[in-house]
């Protein structure tokens, strides 16, 4: 990218004082990888064992400790984890899985991938998570599982969720992709429940560059997960090999696992910094009268949420410009933003399956107007008021 001021235009400038546009731009997120982890990756590369091996075993052991000793298997994405959970649960053609329409499309794509049908129910407009009051009316004789999402790391009410599942004899696959380090009533997400899926994508609170893990219930399920992870192969002795199920190629490399080990050591600090920044956002927006302008802030949960994202909802009925224009203006001010997420049922794939605009009005409204603001551990304290000032200024200039 071009420098904001070129040295040739303003005369000699000390290198330390030249600020590039790239350096001044505040991205929506950025991973923090320390030098010790980088050096550890170099050691793995030099070792000659770079695919799944001792680093993966060590990473899975540490993850298991983190969730209270439950079996954990790591994979090359936080998407295949959910698909594998569905397969272990025996869910397939003719089955239904109740889920939310406000998530990354992977949440429902995996249901289609196993031949089942997603059954969407609308969201709670305050938490932006699945509306638990709407789940039971959506359950039919074909329903086999619930697949909730902890949007932005805010946990779904686990007590009510599992009560519903027990009443109807359903499995629960928790899409906790964004909730590593979140808690429910003091208990770490993943340390209880049924299947729990986490993502280690670069935008997440812990990254392995790409990857994810699945928390399971027992050794049998863990063994099935291992087989699904690598083509269904079971090896015995020097040359014995058997395949009884159709698995895939979902293994996590030792290079990625070494990144994860370094990240896991710093996760508590990462999440603490995210909480500090989120708290600062609330103060900055309150000081600037953002609520009076109609800007909807997230739930101010500082006990259970890991603050994976800080998301606001724009006041569509009062704005004279669309969200894309707000994002462009913020980008021009050097601030990156994101959209997490459009309502799934309005994508062409899902419209072909029968869903229509108006089916889930709360998810549709939030999906049209939600805006993810910068939040990552390396942000400076001064970045938060800068973002709040820019967004509030844009709103004031474009309200009806």
**Calculated CA dihedral for residues 30, 31, 32, 34, nearest 10 degrees:** -130
Measure the CA–CA gap between 233 and 357, rounded to whole angstroms.
44
Q: In the 8-state DSSP scheme, what is residue 374?
A: P
Whether residue 3 is predicted with pLDDT greater than 60 in this model: the reply is: no
Whether residue 13 is predicted with pLDDT greater than 70 in this model: the reply is: no
Structure confidence by residue, pLDDT tens digits, 215-232: 999 999 999 999 999 999
- Active site members: 204
Q: With bands split at pLDDT 50, 70 and 90, how would you rate the model's confidence at 21?
A: low
Tokens in use for 182? Answer: 């979140």
Domain with CATH 3.90.1150.10 in the chain: 267-398
Nearest by Cα to 67 from 211, 224, 192, 212: 192
Q: With bands split at pLDDT 50, 70 and 90, how would you rate the model's confidence at 7?
A: very low
Whether residue 5 is predicted with pLDDT greater than 50 in this model: the reply is: no
- Residue 316: strand, helix, or coil: coil
Dihedrals φ, ψ of 15, to 5°? -55, -35
Which uninterrupted H or E stretch holds 213? strand 212-215
Dihedrals φ, ψ of 145, to 5°? -155, 160
Measure the CA–CA gap between 95 and 111, rounded to whole angstroms.
9
Specify whether the CB–CB gap between 113 and 83 falls below 8 A: yes
Q: What percent of the chain is modeled with pLDDT above 70?
A: 94
Whether residue 381 is predicted with pLDDT greater than 90 in this model: the reply is: yes
Fold (CATH) for 35-260 = 3.40.640
Q: In the 8-state DSSP scheme, what is residue 51?
A: S
SS (H, E, C) 133-181: HHHHHHCCCCEEEEECECHHHCCCCHHHHHHHHHHHCCEEEEECCCCCC
Measure the CA–CA gap between 394 and 384, rounded to whole angstroms.
16
Q: With bands split at pLDDT 50, 70 and 90, how would you rate the model's confidence at 22?
A: low
Specify whether the CB–CB gap between 138 and 119 falls below 8 A: yes
CATH architecture of 267-398: Alpha-Beta Complex (3.90)
Whether residue 175 is predicted with pLDDT greater than 90 in this model: the reply is: yes
The model's pTM: 0.93
Measure the CA–CA gap between 164 and 202, rounded to whole angstroms.
34
Q: How far is CA 167 from the centre of its chain?
A: 28
Mean pLDDT of the chain: 94
Q: In the 8-state DSSP scheme, what is residue 123?
A: B
Structure confidence by residue, pLDDT tens digits, 103-122: 999 999 999 999 999 999 99
Greatest alpha-carbon span in the chain: 76
Domain with CATH 3.40.640.10 in the chain: 35-260
Whether residue 193 is predicted with pLDDT greater than 80 in this model: the reply is: yes
Measure the CA–CA gap between 145 and 139, rounded to whole angstroms.
9
Specify whether the CB–CB gap between 149 and 175 falls below 8 A: yes
pLDDT of residue 344: 98
Cis peptide before 366 (omega within 30 of 0): no
Terminus-to-terminus CA distance in the chain, angstroms? 36
Mention every residue, 6+ apart, whose C-beta is less than 8 A from residue 114: 83, 86, 87, 91, 92
Q: At what angle do helices 383-398 and 323-332 cross, to 10 degrees?
A: 130
Strands 240-243 and 117-120: unpaired
Whether residue 12 is predicted with pLDDT greater than 90 in this model: the reply is: no
Structure confidence by residue, pLDDT tens digits, 266-309: 999 999 999 999 999 999 999 999 999 999 999 999 999 999 99
Nearest by Cα to 154 from 371, 374, 301, 342: 301
Whether residue 98 is predicted with pLDDT greater than 50 in this model: the reply is: yes
SS (H, E, C) 248-288: CECCCCHHHHHHHHHHHHHHHHHHHHHHHHHHHHHHHHHHC
Specify whether the CB–CB gap between 109 and 72 falls below 8 A: no
Measure the CA–CA gap between 86 and 387, rounded to whole angstroms.
40
Mention every residue, 6+ apart, whose C-beta is less than 8 A from residue 223: none
**For range 71-81, the mean pLDDT:** 98
pLDDT of residue 23: 67
Partners of 174 in the beta sheet?
196
pLDDT of residue 8: 29
């Amino acid at each position: 990218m071009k420098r904001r001021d070129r040295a040739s235009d303003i005369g000699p400038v000390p290198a330390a004082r030249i600020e590039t546009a790239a350096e001044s731009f505040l991205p929506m997120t950025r991973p923090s990888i320390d030098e010790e982890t980088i050096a550890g990756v170099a050691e793995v590369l030099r070792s000659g064992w770079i695919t799944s091996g001792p680093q993966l075993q060590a990473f899975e052991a540490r993850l298991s400790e983190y969730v209270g000793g439950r079996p954990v298997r790591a994979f090359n994405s936080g998407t295949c984890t959910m698909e594998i959970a569905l397969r272990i649960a025996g869910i397939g053609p003719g089955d239904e899985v109740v889920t939310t329409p406000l998530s990354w499309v992977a949440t429902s794509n995996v249901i289609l991938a196993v031949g089942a049908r997603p059954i969407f129910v609308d969201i709670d407009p305050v938490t932006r998570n699945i509306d638990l009051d709407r789940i039971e009316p959506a359950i039919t004789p074909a329903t086999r599982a619930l697949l909730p999402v902890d949007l932005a790391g805010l946990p779904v009410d686990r007590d009510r969720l599992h009560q519903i599942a027990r009443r109807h004899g359903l499995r629960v696959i928790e899409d906790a992709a964004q909730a590593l380090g979140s808690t429910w009533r003091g208990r770490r997400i993943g340390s209880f429940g049924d299947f729990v899926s986490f993502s280690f994508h670069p935008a997440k609170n812990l990254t392995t560059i790409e990857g994810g893990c699945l928390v399971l219930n027992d050794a049998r399920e863990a063994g099935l997960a291992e087989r699904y992870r690598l083509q269904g192969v079971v090896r015995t002795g020097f040359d014995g090999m058997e395949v009884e199920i159709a698995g895939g190629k979902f293994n996590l490399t030792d290079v990625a696992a070494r990144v994860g080990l370094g990240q896991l050591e710093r996760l508590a600090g990462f999440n603490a910094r995210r909480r500090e920044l989120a708290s600062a956002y609330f103060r900055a927006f309150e000081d600037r009268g953002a609520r009076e302008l109609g800007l909807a802030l997230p739930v101010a949960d500082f006990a259970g949420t890991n603050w994976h994202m800080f998301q606001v909802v724009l006041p569509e009925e009062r704005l004279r410009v669309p969200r894309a224009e707000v994002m462009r203006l913020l980008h021009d001010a050097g601030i990156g933003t994101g959209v997490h997420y459009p309502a799934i049922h309005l994508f062409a794939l899902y419209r072909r399956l029968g869903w229509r605009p108006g089916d889930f009005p709360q998810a549709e409204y939030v999906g049209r107007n939600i805006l993810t603001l910068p939040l990552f551990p390396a942000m400076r304290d001064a970045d938060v008021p800068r973002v709040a000032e820019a967004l509030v200024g844009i709103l004031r200039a474009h309200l009806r």
